[in-house]
Amino acid sequence: MESDFVSWLLRSLPQDQRLEVPAGDDAAVLRPPATRRTVVTVDLLTEGVDFLLTGNAGAAAFPPPASPWQVGYKAVAVNLSDLAAMAARPEAIVVAVALPRQGGRQLGEEIAAGVAACATEFSVTQAGGDTNAWDGPLVLSVTALGSVAPQQAWRRDAARPGDALVVTGPVGGSLLGRHLAVTPRCREALAIAAGFPVHAAIDVSDGLALDVSRLLAASGVGGVLDLAAIPIHADAVRLSTLGPEDGRDPLGHALGDGEDFELVLAMPPAAAAELVACPPEQLVAGTTMQPTIIGKVTATSGLQGRQPDGSVGPLAPKGFDHVFD
């Protein structure tokens, strides 16, 4: 029953100073940090599109099915990645779930454990939620709240011609498993924001080429990606030989796979050079971040790619787009 599950869930939530009224009321009351802005984002994950659930995935070995714990962790992590792309400090989440009636209790508990693990790791308070049961597949919707100083959020519409484009780590091939072990660049974003000027940012959720093209279009500018400079993840190389045969080479996977949850930053070139020269460990202890300059922002609109031979031509903004009509 919903009421038993919610009682269990509420008992499991840690206390948090940020909550004047904690989860369990009609709504939660948050003490927002003085003089800071509230940043809000939502991501809804559906079984069959964002993940295949262990046990329901049939015989498919690829993409690897997710445990309920992983689904819970991922649903929080992808939202925190959006906060990172705004240079916002994560503060709170609310979680809504539609559970299948059969086995929903155990599923709910495992999801809640994954949610709690990610929330704890990134010091986010669980401010509330909504538990539903139905005859459909699993749906999980997380809304994340963050905070940022006034006018300090990294927008996606403020890249300037001449900016360097930086990506915080290698991309491609996430479906081999990284799509279920998302590491949002929250600490990295805060450290970079504290030390470097960033004009615009976006996280790579749907595909490097698509997400860069979104940033450029929102800013009313264009850009050239230096294809030889794009850090290709080992998974992209592996997927080009092991994955479903669609003829894409490792670079194709790096440009179009998405779910990398690295950040793309548009920065003054000198600052970008300084960032990539700085040992990442010096910025954030224990980080796996590896910032790389991958191109530049131009005044002419559209996304271009520079081949290793120096020739420049249009680059398709490939990536994931939900299809419906």
Contacts of 73 (CB under 8 A, 6+ apart): 114, 115, 117, 118, 181, 182
Contacts of 277 (CB under 8 A, 6+ apart): none
Does residue number 245 form part of the binding site for a second copy (CB under 8 A)?
no
Query: Cα–Cα distance between 96 and 106 in angstroms, integer?
Result: 16
**Which of residues 113, 133, 273, 278 is near a second copy by CB under 8 A?**
133
- Phi-psi category of residue 68: left, alpha or beta, with phi > 0 → left and psi -120 to 50 → alpha: alpha
Nearer to a second copy, 20 or 309 (CB): 20
Tell the smallest beta-carbon distance from residue 42 to a second copy (Å): 4
Tell the smallest beta-carbon distance from residue 323 to a second copy (Å): 6
199 and 267 in contact (C-beta within 8 Å)?
yes
Tell the smallest beta-carbon distance from residue 171 to a second copy (Å): 17
x-or-dash string of contact with a second copy, 166-205, rule CB under 8 A: -----------------------------------xxx--
x-or-dash string of contact with a second copy, 88-127, rule CB under 8 A: x---x-xxxxxxxxxxxx--x------------------x
x-or-dash string of contact with a second copy, 56-85, rule CB under 8 A: --------------------------xx-x
Q: Which helix (H) or strand (E) holds 200?
A: strand 200-203
Phi, psi angle pair for 99, to nearest 5°: -100, 145
Stretch of 20-28, 60-68, 231-239, 297-305 lying at the interface with a second copy (CB under 8 A): 20-28
Phi, psi angle pair for 58, to nearest 5°: 70, -145
